[in-house]
């Protein structure tokens, strides 16, 4: 009886210690890494086109400017030559996303067509992001953009929408290398080395694309069945936890996504309660772009307190409506999507553990039989050498393994 009580006490202490560690990790704010450089670039890249459209009264084109300026987010810590190439590649992908989403909106297929379109976009753009080795990785921007543009009817002609997006992309790329005007801030213009991927790497890319597509399909279908509006927000939340090299980091990102979004919804409610004028809403968006980039590397949930209002205010600018249902949709759709994403993360983690165990058993049998271990897929661990099973699908993608180069932004 004494040993049973002692074991139970030890187990409770272990659980309490684990929970305490997770809480400490959630509250931890990463170190500053000259984030104001990229935050200023992104605020200028998005702010100038939005102010120009505000002066022209073209609120219907603001969504295309908002997604076009995302090109300036890529190449966060790279030298000028590499940043120029990667931002241009990201801009091309964003233009393709906006064009295909606009065409999808003309079909008027409703919520289920949005689910199918965003699922396909998540898979295709996942392959493209990995092929071009873009940072930040993942398909959150492309999933969000395709869903936001493809799910509504647009009054602006296609050529005007694409021209707005193209000019914003070009402006963002120019802002990205504008620091070359200051001689002391100039970095190398050497082009990035072209990577060559073997069959194993393409298989890794294919699995990652399939997981993204499955997450979007599951979350979007569930959100559509539930019957809430803006089902693409659930799809965005589902793919957010899928980027990250370890189970703990992916779970933390999913939790950050939920809590940060709920806090951001509360912030949005306070801001929209006063029914601000369009010019004030544009200034809010610019400020939130700056703050989101200041915090997104240091604390994801804190960044979402600015990302969420920014997205909701942009939706309100493009199509004014009662903000109450909009806020409710954002909160509950994010909860649905994040839970789906975390469930998929856990399922893939279990799959990895089973394959690791099978590989170890095979090596043990061959060693016991006096034969050297076979070299092949069944005999190798699926993760990147971690015996505790923290890593998920195969090895972390190249853009995750090389993430250190993106953490210290340059001017």
> What's the pLDDT score for residue 402?
41
Contact (CB, 8 A) for 119 and 213: yes
Higher pLDDT, 397 or 117: 117
pLDDT of residue 54: 96
Give per-residue pLDDT as tens, 217-266: 999 999 999 988 889 999 999 999 887 767 777 788 888 888 999 999 99
Confidence at 394, pLDDT banded by 50, 70, 90: very low
Closest C-alpha among 140, 162, 158, 97 to residue 232:
140
The answer to whether the beta carbons of residues 341 and 215 sit under 8 Å apart is: yes
Q: What's the pLDDT score for residue 355?
A: 78
10 Å Cβ neighbour count for 162? Answer: 17
User: Would you call 65 exposed, middle or buried from its count of C-beta atoms within 10 A (0-12, 13-18, 19+)?
Assistant: buried
What pLDDT, on a 0 to 100 scale, did the predictor assign at position 360? 78
Average pLDDT over residues 57-71: 95
The CA-atom distances, in angstroms, between 178 and each of 22, 46, 187 are 41, 15, 11
| pLDDT in the model for residue 377 | 45
With beta carbons less than 8 A apart as the criterion, state whether 303 and 288 touch.
no
Residue pair 205/395 in contact by the 8 Å Cβ criterion: no
**Residue-level pLDDT at 145:** 95
Cα–Cα distance measured from residue 5 to residue 18, given in angstroms and rounded to the nearest whole number: 20
pTM of the model: 0.84
DSSP, residue by residue, 130-186 = HHHT-SS-SSHHHHHHHHHHHTS---S-HHHHHHHHHHHHHHHHHHHTGGGGSGGG-
pLDDT digit string, tens, across residues 116-134: 999 999 999 999 999 999 9
Q: Tell me, what's the pLDDT at 30?
A: 74
- Counting residues of the chain whose pLDDT is more than 70, the rounded percentage is 82
- pLDDT reported for residue 17: 65
Give the pLDDT band (50/70/90) at residue 31.
confident
Per the model's pLDDT, the better-predicted residue between 290 and 315 turns out to be: 290
Separation of alpha carbons 89 and 86, rounded Å: 5
pLDDT band, very low/low/confident/very high, at 16 (cuts 50, 70, 90): low
pLDDT class for 350, splitting at 50, 70, 90? confident
pLDDT of residue 369: 63
How many other CB atoms are found less than 10 A from the CB of residue 169? 28
Report pLDDT for 356: 78
Give 368's contacts (C-beta < 8 A, 6+ positions apart): none
Position 387 scores a pLDDT of 34
Residue 392 has pLDDT above 60, yes or no: no
pLDDT band with cut points at 50, 70 and 90 for residue 3: low
* Token pair recorded at residue 208: 């990652």
3-state secondary structure 279-328: HHHHHHHHHHHHHHHHHCCCCHHHHHHHHHHHHHHHHHHHCCCCHHHHHH
**What confidence score (pLDDT) does residue 149 get?**
95
Q: What is the CA radius of gyration of the chain?
A: 23
* Residue 340: pLDDT band with limits 50, 70, 90: very high
Helices of type H across 228-299: 232-239, 247-272, 278-295
Determine the average pLDDT of the residues in 40-48: 95
pLDDT greater than 70 at residue 18: no
Res. 44 pLDDT band, cuts 50 70 90: very high
Q: How confident is the model at residue 376 (pLDDT cuts 50, 70, 90)?
A: very low
Average pLDDT over the chain reads 84
Q: How confident is the model at residue 7 (pLDDT cuts 50, 70, 90)?
A: low
Among 276, 251, 320, 79, which residue's Cα sits nearest to residue 180?
79
Q: Which of 328, 324, 392 is nearest to 355 (CA)?
A: 392
Q: Check residue 405 and give its pLDDT.
A: 43
Q: Which of 22-31, 133-142, 168-177, 303-312 is least confident?
A: 22-31
**Bigger pLDDT: 115 or 367?**
115
Residue 289 CA to residue 310 CA, distance in Å, equals 7
Q: In terms of C-beta density within 10 A (0-12 exposed, 13-18 middle, 19 or more buried), how is residue 158 classed? A: middle
Q: What's the CA gap between 127 and 206, in Å, rounded?
A: 7
pLDDT at 381: 42
State the pLDDT confidence band at 100, using cuts at 50, 70 and 90.
Answer: very high
């Amino acid at each position: 009886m004494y040993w049973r009580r002692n074991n139970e006490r030890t187990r409770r202490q272990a659980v309490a210690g684990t929970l305490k560690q997770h809480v400490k990790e959630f509250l931890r704010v990463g170190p500053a890494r000259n984030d104001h450089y990229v935050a200023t670039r992104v605020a200028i890249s998005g702010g100038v086109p939005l102010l120009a459209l505000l002066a022209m009264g073209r609120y219907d084109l603001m969504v295309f400017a908002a997604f076009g300026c995302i090109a300036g987010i890529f190449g966060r810590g790279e030298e000028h030559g590499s940043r120029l190439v990667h931002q241009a590649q990201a801009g091309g992908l964003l233009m393709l996303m906006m064009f295909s989403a606009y065409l999808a909106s003309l079909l008027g297929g409703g919520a289920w067509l949005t689910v199918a379109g965003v699922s396909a976009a998540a898979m295709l753009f996942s392959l493209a992001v990995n092929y071009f080795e873009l940072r930040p990785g993942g398909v959150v921007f492309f999933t969000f953009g395709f869903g936001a543009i493809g799910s509504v009817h647009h009054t602006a002609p296609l050529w005007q929408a694409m021209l707005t997006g193209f000019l914003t992309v070009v402006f963002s790329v120019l802002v990205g290398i504008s620091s070359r005007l200051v001689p002391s801030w100039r970095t190398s213009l050497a082009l990035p080395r072209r990577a060559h991927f073997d069959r194993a790497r393409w298989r890794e890319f294919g699995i990652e694309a399939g997981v993204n597509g499955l997450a979007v399909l599951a979350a979007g279908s569930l959100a559509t069945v539930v019957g809430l509006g803006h089902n693409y927000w659930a799809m965005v939340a589902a793919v957010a936890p899928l980027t990250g090299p370890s189970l703990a980091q992916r779970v933390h990102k999913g939790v950050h996504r939920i809590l940060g979004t709920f806090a951001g919804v509360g912030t949005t409610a306070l801001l929209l309660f006063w029914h601000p004028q369009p010019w004030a809403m544009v200034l809010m968006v610019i400020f939130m772009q700056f703050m989101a980039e200041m915090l997104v590397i240091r604390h994801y949930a804190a960044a979402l307190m600015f990302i969420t209002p920014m997205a909701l205010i942009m939706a309100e600018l493009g199509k004014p409506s009662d903000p109450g249902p909009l806020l409710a949709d954002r909160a509950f759709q994010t909860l649905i999507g994040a839970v789906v994403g975390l469930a998929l993360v856990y399922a893939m983690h279990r799959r990895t553990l089973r394959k690791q165990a099978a590989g170890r058993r095979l090596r043990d049998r061959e060693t016991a039989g006096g034969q050297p271990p076979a070299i092949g897929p069944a005999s190798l661990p699926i993760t990147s050498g971690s015996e505790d099973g923290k890593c998920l699908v195969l090895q972390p993608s190249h853009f995750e393994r090389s993430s250190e180069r993106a953490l210290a932004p340059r001017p």
